Amino acid sequence: MILLSGGEPLEYPFLLPLVTALEQVGKPFRIATGGHINIMPFLEILQNNRLFTGFSVGTDVMAIRRNNNEEFKMQWIENLRILSEWGCPYSLTITVGSGMQLEPLLKLFHYHKLDPNFLMLSGMEGEIFDDEEWNGFLQNIQNIYPFKIIKVGFRECKKV
């Protein structure tokens, strides 16, 4: 499995030629996106690609203190609505740390009835979480998505 990520892949001019090359060599792939770029033109192309396994959608764009661009936030919500409507597999990557409040984000997920295939919880680089705080994040996510797999991504721990 290859994950196309880094920066914003949907802005790469060479994304579609890369997808074609992956298809030619038989490599399954997934695309990680911040979700603020209109996903529809890509979905129309990717929907019939047998090796495309879905989108991993980050939540950074929704961090109130980090991004005040309402247009990006509305596009993020619209993209997730489209992915659900089209039955395209997607996951949500929740990054916690300064500037990212988990509770409002989870309320937004619930309000819009987002139904990801799975969720990933990651900590922001440089942010340190003790076990109690980290487990609290996991529990809050499980309260909204009791039957979903929650994967743990990057997490810095206190040095002992």
Q: What is the pLDDT of residues 11-38, one digit of tens each?
A: 999 999 999 999 999 999 999 999 999 9
Rounded Cα–Cα distance for residues 123 and 129 (Å): 8
Q: How far is 160 from 152, CA to CA, in rounded Å?
A: 21
> What is the tens place of the pLDDT at every residue in 61-120?
886 555 568 888 899 999 999 999 999 999 999 988 866 778 888 888 889 889 999 999
- What's the pTM? 0.87
Task: Specify the pLDDT at position 100.
Answer: 73
Q: Which of 5-9, 79-83, 110-114, 155-159 has the lowest mean pLDDT?
A: 155-159
Is the sign of the CA dihedral 20, 25, 26, 30 positive or negative?
Answer: negative
**How would residue 128 be classed by pLDDT, with cut points 50, 70 and 90?**
confident
pLDDT confidence of residue 66: 55
pLDDT value for 96: 86
